[in-house]
Amino acid sequence: MSIRAATPAAIAAAATHLRAGGLVAFPTETVYGLGAAATDAAAVAAIFAVKQRPAFDPLIVHVDSLARAERVVRRLAGAARHLAERYWPGPLTLVLPKAADIPDLVTAGLPTVGVRLPAHAVARALIAAADLPIAAPSANPFGYVSPTTAAHVAAQLGDAVPLILDGGACAIGLESTIVAFDGDRPTLLRSGAITLEALEAELGPLRLATDIPLPTAPGQLPRHYAPRTPLVLIDTPAEVAPARRAGTALLACGALDDVSGFAQVEQLAADGDLVVAATRLFAALRALDAGGFRRVWALRVPERGIGRAIMDRLRRASQ
């Protein structure tokens, strides 16, 4: 395993490695991805093996331009194109009918594919240098907390990833918003930094994905983004009796009353800023998971704006 600063030389080396069928971990503005050439089924299979990811969970394909996106999907038009032109580059994935040369393994056998044009300059430079679309889930063991630094990737996947491009900490820290276009109305499959409110301001009311038996996009399984330490959602610290606080940690966002007795209090944003809380969430979960606590109590946040995405991750982590 090699962690290399994302210099032009390192990006060129990573691009060569991708073209040869290898895996590369790289930064995006959301989380670090574990990438392979999206058109190389054998390389994509290596992603599933390294992550121990079930084959029914589809991957997102990353591109560096609208033109490359149009070679990944059959058609990018109408409302989908409007969102692409409004929010790309950025943390938005569009699920559309896939082009013929995208292997079924990428899409879990589905006729659709998730495609995204990331905002991170390193990600786009890597895609351009490799001159191919990159299939990339988060660079972590399947179901665990997503990585937001190169060090997180190294700690979780180690020598299974020969090359990690270090582009610093991720600016957003939560996976992309996912919108599917199938039928007469778009569907929000996963919440993210581009909020439901913002999307509905552009498109009108969206359907919300509920009770989907198998995922049509990443991040839809009931348990996901989960630490190994049990995590329990609460509304206020007062719900945890003093006798139950010993050896446990509290994950919070906003002003707190009595927190005596907890072994540790991890504050995402003392002023309740949900955007700041989102950027710190996965790193905080990772740190608490390493603390040897019996349990982590997580305070719910308001489900508005990016708070909806934070609560989506916390609910799945608590299953």
At residue 119, the pLDDT reads 98
Q: What is the 3-state secondary structure (H, E, C) of 197-235?
A: HHHHHHHCCCEECCCCCCCCCCCCCCCCCECCCCEEEEC
- Per residue in 20-44, pLDDT (tens digit) is 999 999 999 999 999 999 999 999 9
Q: What is the CA radius of gyration of the chain?
A: 19
H helices within 77-163, ranges in order?
A: 78-87, 121-130, 150-157
Q: What are the chain's domains?
A: 2-208 (3.90.870.10), 231-318 (3.40.50.11030)
- Angstrom CA distances, 295 to 227, 228, 298, stand at 10, 10, 10
Distance in angstroms (rounded) separating the CA atoms of residues 240 and 244? 6
At residue 211, the pLDDT reads 46
At residue 221, the pLDDT reads 55
Name the stretches of the chain with pLDDT < 50.
211, 214
Distance in angstroms (rounded) separating the CA atoms of residues 183 and 9? 45
Distance in angstroms (rounded) separating the CA atoms of residues 260 and 246? 10
- Per residue in 95-104, pLDDT (tens digit) is 999 999 999 9
At residue 218, the pLDDT reads 62
Distance in angstroms (rounded) separating the CA atoms of residues 108 and 85? 27
**Strand, helix or coil at 137?**
coil
At residue 185, the pLDDT reads 82
pTM: 0.89
